[in-house]
Amino acid sequence: MKQGAKIAVAGVVATLVAAVGGYWLGNQSAVSGHGAMALPAAPIASNGSAKQERKILYYRNPMGLPDTSPTPKKDPMGMDYIPVYEGGEEDDDTAAVNQIKISTDKVQKLGVRTEAASLRTLGKVVRAAGRIEPDERRIFTISPKFEGYVERLYVNVTGQPVGKGQPLFEVYSPELVSAQREYAIAAQGVEAMKDAGGEALGGMKLLAGSSLMRLKNWDISEEQIKMLAKSGEAKRTLIFRSPVSGIVTEKKALQGMRFMPGEMLYQVADLSSVWVVADVFEQDIGLVKTGAKAKVRINAYPDKIFEGRITYVYPTLKAETRTVQVRIELANPGQLLKPAMFAQVELPVGGAAQVLAVPDSAVIDSGVRRIVLVQVKAGRFEPREVKLGARSDSYVEVLDGVKEGEAVVVAANFLIDAESNLKAAVGSLGGHAGHGSAAKTDAAPEAKPAAAGHKAQGMVDGIDVKSGTVSLSHGPVDTLKWPAMTMEFKVANETLLKYLRPGISVAFEFIERQPGEWVITSIKPSSGTMLPSKSGGNSAPTANPHAGH
């Protein structure tokens, strides 16, 4: 009996030992690789108030460069990479992947200014050069319709002002004398045979009528015809008078000269109203409309502004100057405006409706697309691709990409571009991010943006601080399938050149900011390389900012 009891007690002890050992082994298997024990997850409260821990997808470059890391690390300037959580969210106040972060101190040093996108009427002034010309509808020529001789000149200089009906010159013509005599004889015959009646009277009337018509066709005035019919005496000479008040712009008549039918002897222009013919450039002609107001300035009268209206847009373009002529009518009281004067023409154009607009200085135009920098918060900027519409002198309409009230950078935006390699950052947006929306990613942490940088090692051959370039003899670059070569690189920031000296070996990263432009974003001496100090000695090798991560 005693032996059986011992065996039973031994079995109970073995069972207890196995249970304790299993519990201990279970706890040991829960210990993490970092030496910390993973505690069981706390039960979620029934009311759902407890927040589950978010999953970190990867860490991104804090300066907006297309560089990500699966583990925490620092950039060459010592800034921590920003964690990006599942769903595209970042920790507390961090920005979306395509945003640019710059310290507020640096923003002030760069002189960054912003202005809110707002609704406004885009008024634009098209400016063109023009010249004063006489109104073609107010130009008259005096050309006798018969052959004769100039007997006397009453107006004998070009440029002389004349009034309507004022005598210009007196002519003698044998044909005119004959025509007057025929009419005088016919008129007297009609008067003598008025009681006779019959065919004789009818024939005399026909002769008188044809003679009268001949005189009228030669522009003989009604007054002269009446005097001729009354007196019955033919005048040897005939006086030509001005048909309008104006200026004698041409005078070919000379005293005693012979003239032929249709030959122009005088030209008189009425300059109470003139034209301004302006040459509008091809790109602006679509904005110019008939009936619009225009302002004209003349160098001779700098304190005066003449106002008129556009009456005609010519249908042809001058190939030599790529301009289209526009005609403006102007009143000319006092005849201050002289033909052939030069004029500066201002044509206000633009719609009356309000549109969303930003200053034109806010737009960075690469030639392929247009981008503005939107200030999300202090020191945080987001590049947006925008679609533009009409333009004024200083503002441009935004059809898509920016909302009303959003602050856009209007000064130093190109400095921000240089400071943060904006072109590389927005290069990763193409086709993935919407206008103004944060770029979201569902890719694994190992996935790299299309515009990721390239890595290489080499030796410094030369440095040009003024142009911000460094010449490197580098080894093969696998990501670009480049062989070893010597070439010149630009640097994203001049501080990268501070400790470089010719002859030292370096490891560097670079990107293609635009076609053919290779820019170094990170450069550091290779492991074990001693940097020459300013005092002439050697300094310790620079620590790798990525070490330990």
Residue 163 lies in a domain: yes
End residue of a domain, out of 349, 365, 400? 349
CB 527 within 8 A of CB 547: no
Q: 180 pLDDT exceeds 70?
A: yes
Residue 191 lies in a domain: yes
Q: Which domain holds residue 329?
A: 273-349
What strands, in cross-sheet order, belong to the sheet with 237-241?
237-241, 167-172, 148-153, 258-259
The residue ranking higher by pLDDT, 111 or 414, is 111
| Residue 259 shares a structural domain with residue 278 | no
Q: Which residues contact 543 (CB under 8 A, 6 or more apart)?
A: none
pLDDT, residue 65, reads: 65
Distance CA 449, CA 515 (A): 17
Residue 532 lies in a domain: yes
Q: 201 pLDDT exceeds 70?
A: yes
The residue ranking higher by pLDDT, 2 or 73, is 73
Q: 266 pLDDT exceeds 90?
A: yes
CATH number at residue 463: 2.40.50.320
| Residue 256 shares a structural domain with residue 280 | no
Q: Which of 85-99, 119-133, 168-182 has the lowest mean pLDDT?
A: 85-99
CB 277 within 8 A of CB 326: yes
The residue ranking higher by pLDDT, 498 or 259, is 259
Render pLDDT for 449-502 as a digit per residue (tens, 0 to 9). Answer: 344 578 999 999 999 888 889 999 999 988 888 888 898 998 888 888 877 889
Q: What is the CA radius of gyration of the chain?
A: 48
Q: 231 pLDDT exceeds 60?
A: yes
Distance CA 427, CA 449 (A): 9
- The structural domain count of the chain equals 3
Q: Which of 160-164, 177-181, 200-204, 379-383 has the lowest mean pLDDT?
A: 200-204
| Residue 150 shares a structural domain with residue 259 | yes
Residue 516 has phi, psi (to 5 degrees) of 85, -5
CB 437 within 8 A of CB 402: no
Residue 32 lies in a domain: no
- Structure confidence at residue 541 as a pLDDT band (50, 70, 90): very low
pLDDT, residue 53, reads: 67
End residue of a domain, out of 316, 349, 382? 349
Q: 228 pLDDT exceeds 70?
A: yes
- Structure confidence at residue 434 as a pLDDT band (50, 70, 90): very low
Q: 301 pLDDT exceeds 80?
A: yes
| Residue 221 shares a structural domain with residue 284 | no
Residue 285 lies in a domain: yes
Q: 544 pLDDT exceeds 70?
A: no
Q: b/e string for 76-107 if b means 16 or more Cβ within 10 A?
A: beeeebbbbeeeeebeeebbbbbbbbbeeeeb
| Residue 236 shares a structural domain with residue 154 | yes
Render pLDDT for 60-81 as a digit per residue (tens, 0 to 9). Answer: 776 666 678 888 888 776 677 8
Both tokens of residue 526? 């290779």
| Residue 212 shares a structural domain with residue 156 | yes
| Residue 250 shares a structural domain with residue 294 | no
Q: Which of 108-117, 149-158, 409-418 has the lowest mean pLDDT?
A: 409-418
End residue of a domain, out of 231, 263, 295? 263
Q: 83 pLDDT exceeds 70?
A: yes
Count Cβ atoms below 10 Å from residue 505 Cβ, excluding itself: 14
pLDDT, residue 147, reads: 92
pLDDT, residue 95, reads: 44
Distance CA 45, CA 51 (A): 10
Distance CA 176, CA 219 (A): 11
Q: What spatial distance separates the first Cα and last Cα of the chain, rounded to whole Å?
A: 68
The arithmetic mean of pLDDT across residues 273-286, rounded, is 93
| Residue 244 shares a structural domain with residue 322 | no
Q: Which of 54-68, 200-214, 269-283 has the lowest mean pLDDT?
A: 54-68
Which residues, in sequence order, are bridge partners of residue 531? Answer: 539
Distance of CA 378 to the CA centre of its chain: 29
Could you tell me what percent of the chain has a pLDDT over 90? 32
Residue 255 lies in a domain: yes
Q: 538 pLDDT exceeds 80?
A: no
Q: 373 pLDDT exceeds 60?
A: yes
Render pLDDT for 303-346 as a digit per residue (tens, 0 to 9). Answer: 999 999 999 999 999 999 999 999 999 999 888 999 999 999 99
| Residue 244 shares a structural domain with residue 315 | no
| Residue 207 shares a structural domain with residue 301 | no
pLDDT, residue 42, reads: 39
The arithmetic mean of pLDDT across residues 361-373, rounded, is 86
CATH number at residue 334: 2.40.30.170
Q: Which of 19-28, 209-218, 291-300, 417-426 has the lowest mean pLDDT?
A: 19-28
Residue 82 lies in a domain: no
The residue ranking higher by pLDDT, 193 or 486, is 486
pLDDT, residue 444, reads: 37
Distance CA 458, CA 504 (A): 9
Q: 5 pLDDT exceeds 70?
A: no
Distance CA 295, CA 115 (A): 32
pLDDT, residue 44, reads: 39
| Residue 148 shares a structural domain with residue 259 | yes
The residue ranking higher by pLDDT, 32 or 88, is 88
- Structure confidence at residue 28 as a pLDDT band (50, 70, 90): very low
Residue 486 lies in a domain: yes
pLDDT, residue 161, reads: 93
Q: 420 pLDDT exceeds 80?
A: no
pLDDT, residue 433, reads: 39
For residue 532, give the nearest of 508, 493, 489, 502 by alpha carbon.
502
Rounded mean pLDDT of the chain? 77
| Residue 494 shares a structural domain with residue 524 | yes
What is the residue-wise DSSP string for 424-448? HHHHTTTTTS-TTPPPP--S-TT--
Q: How much is the pTM?
A: 0.49
